[in-house]
């Protein structure tokens, strides 16, 4: 529980430190094809949280708008690792999801919150063997400006349907977006 509270404080501090830079920016370019990359934390939860510690992740994103709507198709790939709480070793996670992203608020706003959700495949390698299984993910974030860059901060719930149970975690990712 202390780990989740600490990570929540880190995310809040990063978000609040971006507020002055966000206020100086103009509208966010959310209408064209966008590419993004980022990194952050993986918070194992449920049974996975009982056996592994907080880890790290890297994320790659492609977003394609649907006409003039706030709805986008989103495809992402995530790679991450968490260390086992007892003994040595770690769990490596690699997966991809496809789904939708919906921007909230005015498209001319300097900060654009969004929600997203999708399905995909994830490979979980526990060190003694790996499984590639169906996964679903959902969460939200904000798109904002930092200087001349456009950045995002998001959190998602990911559940990989492993044999006998599910492997659940929350990646919290800070990244940058490129494109039109």
Does 7 have pLDDT greater than 90?
Answer: no
pLDDT in tens, 69-84: 889 999 999 999 999 9
CATH value at residue 131 = 2.40.160.20
The structural domain count of the chain equals 1
Mean pLDDT of 60-75: 91
pLDDT at 22: 41
CA-based nearest residue to 127, from 93, 161, 162, 79: 93
User: DSSP letter string over 86-125?
Assistant: SSS-EEEEEEEEEEEEEE-S-TT-SSEEEEEEEEEEEEEE
Give the domain extent around 93. Answer: 2-179
State the average pLDDT for the chain. Answer: 84
Contact by Cβ (8 Å): 158, 119: no
pLDDT in tens, 134-169: 999 999 999 987 777 789 999 999 999 987 788 999
């Amino acid at each position: 529980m202390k780990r989740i509270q600490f990570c929540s404080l880190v995310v809040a501090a990063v978000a609040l430190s971006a507020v002055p830079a966000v206020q100086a920016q103009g509208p966010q370019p959310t209408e064209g094809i966008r590419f993004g990359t980022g990194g952050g934390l993986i918070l194992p939860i449920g049974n996975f949280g009982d056996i592994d510690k907080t880890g790290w992740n890297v994320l790659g994103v492609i977003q394609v708008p649907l006409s003039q709507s706030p709805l986008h198709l989103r495809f992402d790939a995530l790679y991450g690792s968490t260390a086992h709480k007892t003994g040595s070793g770690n769990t490596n996670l690699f997966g991809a999801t496809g789904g939708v992203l919906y921007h909230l608020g005015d498209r001319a706003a300097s900060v654009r919150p969004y929600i997203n959700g999708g399905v995909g495949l994830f490979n979980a390698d526990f060190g003694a063997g790996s499984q590639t299984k169906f996964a679903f993910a959902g969460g939200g974030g904000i798109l904002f400006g930092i200087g001349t860059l456009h950045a995002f901060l998001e959190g998602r719930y990911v559940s990989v349907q492993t044999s006998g149970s599910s492997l659940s975690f929350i990646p919290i990712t800070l990244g940058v977006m490129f494109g039109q």
